[in-house]
Structure 1
Amino acid sequence: MIENERNCRHEHVINIARQMMTAARTAPKGKGVDVIEVALVTGEELQQLSETMLQLAEETGMKFFIRDANNILQAESVVIIGTHEHAQGLNCGHCGFSTCDSRTEGVPCAINSVDVGIAIGSACATAADMRVDTRVMFSAGLAAQRLNYLEGCKSVYAIPVSASSKNPFFDRKSPVQTIK
């Protein structure tokens, strides 16, 4: 049997993205409390994610959303990682408030935010180990958050995943000369 890499690439990249999700899940968590959610976006939902990013570009005037919206369509899949809002009760002050109870509604617990960052790093390290291309995008994460792909999560980030002859997430061209 001869199996051409072009014929199995998509399946292979999806399997790596699943390994990235496992790496995010098993990444260390502050205080040992797991409040992150991880999912894989493919198919029609990937197109929907791109369309929502275009809407965000229109609403905000931030043109890089257009570039990123087109960029994720070059990916085989997108891994999304976010956190539920859950104060860890440490009264550490890292969020800018002296106690967890004095924290203003909507201000994220710094421990939760760090947990998302560690999970992202772990997922990207797995991707690098497997020699696929990625890029961390808050823009696609914001669109995923708007679409509620990770129900109830805040601080959502996205990691598009690709395996092609040239990394589509490098040397990206902006849709306009200057980004506001």
Structure 2
Amino acid sequence: MIIRENESREEYVMSVAKAMMSAARTAPKGCGVDNLEIAALGLSRLSRLARKMREIGERDSKAFFLRDADNVENSQAVVLIGTRRAVRGLNCGLCGYPTCREKRDSAPAVPCVFDVTDLGIAVGSAVAIAADCRVDNRILYSAGVAAKELGFLDDCAIIYAVPLSVNGKNIYFDRFAKCGAK
């Protein structure tokens, strides 16, 4: 039997995406409360995500959404990691409100600082798996915004997207010239 890399690439990238989702799920959570939603998009969903990113880029005059859409479209998969809105009841004041009740009543759309921290730790755990498996990746706020508008994850306040690519050259490396940055 001969297994050619280019014939098994998509399958391999999806297996890494699955491992990334497990790493995100098992990452430490504040007070042991898990408010994450996690999913992986295969090749069949990437063009829809890229189209939405271009739409947002044009609508909001954000060139980096257009650049990032090209990256998503040229990837083999995208992992989405988002957090729902909730409070821990710790009354820590880190969100700017003295109590969780005041935050919930005054700013229900603002995520709890612990959920945002948990999201960051989960994303870090996931991209560490991709790096360990030698799969190129980039954390994209832009693709997360598009995924949120498309309703890919239920009831998430914030979503980050991690596109994955296996190519001869990292497609996420030469990015700044494409959005006018110097």
Q: Does the TM-score normalized on the shorter chain lie above 0.5?
A: yes
Task: Give yes or no for contact 2:83–2:157 (8 Å, CA) kept in 1.
Answer: yes
Task: Give yes or no for contact 2:130–2:136 (8 Å, CA) kept in 1.
Answer: yes
Structure 2 gaps, min length 5 = none
Of 96, 121, 125, the residue aligned with 2:124 is 121
Correspondence for 2:94: 94
Q: TM-score, normalised on structure 2?
A: 0.94
Structure 1 gaps, min length 5 = none
SS of the residue aligned with 2:130? helix
Distance 1:123 1:176 in 2: 27
What amino acid does structure 1 have at the position aligned with 2:108?
E
Deviation at 1:86, TM superposition (A): 0.8
Task: Give yes or no for contact 2:67–2:179 (8 Å, CA) kept in 1.
Answer: no
Correspondence for 2:12: 12
SS of the residue aligned with 2:162? strand
Correspondence for 2:165: 162
Alignment of 1:46-57 (within 5 A): 46-57=46-57
Task: Give yes or no for contact 2:23–2:122 (8 Å, CA) kept in 1.
Answer: yes
Q: TM-score, normalised on structure 1?
A: 0.95
Alignment of 1:16-55 (within 5 A): 16-55=16-55
Task: Give yes or no for contact 2:109–2:157 (8 Å, CA) kept in 1.
Answer: no
SS of the residue aligned with 2:101? coil
Q: Where is the helix percentage greater, Structure 1 or Structure 2?
A: 2
Deviation at 1:123, TM superposition (A): 0.1
Deviation at 1:40, TM superposition (A): 0.4
RMSD in angstroms over aligned alpha carbons? 1.3
SS of the residue aligned with 2:10? helix
Number of matched pairs: 179
Deviation at 1:15, TM superposition (A): 0.3
Of 111, 114, 132, the residue aligned with 2:114 is 111
Task: Give yes or no for contact 1:64–1:174 (8 Å, CA) kept in 2.
Answer: no
Correspondence for 2:70: 70
